[in-house]
Amino acid sequence: MTATTLTIISTAIKQDAEGRFCLNDCHRASGGDPSKKPSEWARNVQTNELVAEISQSGNSRFAPLETNRGGNSPGTYACRELVYAYAMWISPSFHLKVIRAFDALVRGNVLAPAGRAVPRPRRPSLAATFQTGMKLAKTAGLEGGHAQKAAARYCEKLGLENPLELMGMAPDRDSMGVSFADVILWFFQGMGNDDIQYFAQNEVPTAYRSLARDECKRRGFPVGRGRR
């Protein structure tokens, strides 16, 4: 997501036609302490001296600080340098948040709101990844155990587990007499809850039963008795 609006602690900061930032929005973002209103800050001698210095520098064609008392967007608006100064006057902590918010705006990033975890990217499905690896291996002319090993390495390269090791299978052949691709698809795709419970509970090969129980846990229901 690309940032187009300055956002400080989940508060969007309005801008006027000249690109100045609304100090009233900054005040709300800081917590709204009445003693820290923009009007209080604007009365300071240091503030007036800084405004005069910015005006004399000739880097701007408009006033660095202006208060609109009417219209659609009333409030006190300030250039970026004054936003920094206002934030520093409020507190060092808020000053740092404002600096980081401007950095994020320049980079085109959106800062995560406070208290909200940044979602982690979802890992690809092991079964789907293995299938893709098998297709790539066959495209390269590999067959059988060689294709399986290549597909397993493909999974590892993408940061996933080695499916051959997870299944407890020999690297070159299926020790249970069923193709490895079929076993993977069986346990990681398409099986209904009843079938999973059946294989988790009844007399089937140990490797199958263990994987089926793991799948039951993943789906959030007990193994149960299963159907006979």
Q: Over the stretch 119-166, which tens digit does the pLDDT of each residue have?
A: 555 667 888 888 888 888 888 888 877 888 888 888 888 888 888 877
Confidence of residue 219 (pLDDT cuts 50, 70, 90): confident
Over range 72-96, report the average pLDDT: 91
pLDDT: which is higher, 14 or 143: 14
| Percent of the chain clearing pLDDT 70 (strictly above) | 69
Q: Which of 49-63, 70-84, 157-171, 209-223 has the highest mean pLDDT?
A: 70-84
Query: Closest by alpha carbon to 5, among 106, 144, 99, 123?
Result: 106
pTM of this prediction? 0.47
pLDDT for 138:
86
Q: What is the pLDDT of residues 197-211, one digit of tens each?
A: 776 776 655 656 666
Residue 117, SS3?
coil
Instruction: Report the C-alpha gap between 124 and 62 in whole angstroms.
Output: 53
Which has the higher per-residue pLDDT, 34 or 145? 34
Q: How many CB atoms lie within 10 A of CB 163?
A: 23
Examine the pLDDT at 58 and tell me if it is beyond 60. Answer: yes
Kindly state the tokens that stand for 25: 């929005």
Q: Residue 27: is its pLDDT beyond 90?
A: yes
Give 57 or 109, the one with higher predicted confidence. 57
CA distance 53 to 75: 22
Token representation of residue 106? 């320049």
Distances (CA, A) of 7 to 23, 154, 183, 195, 220: 12, 41, 50, 51, 39
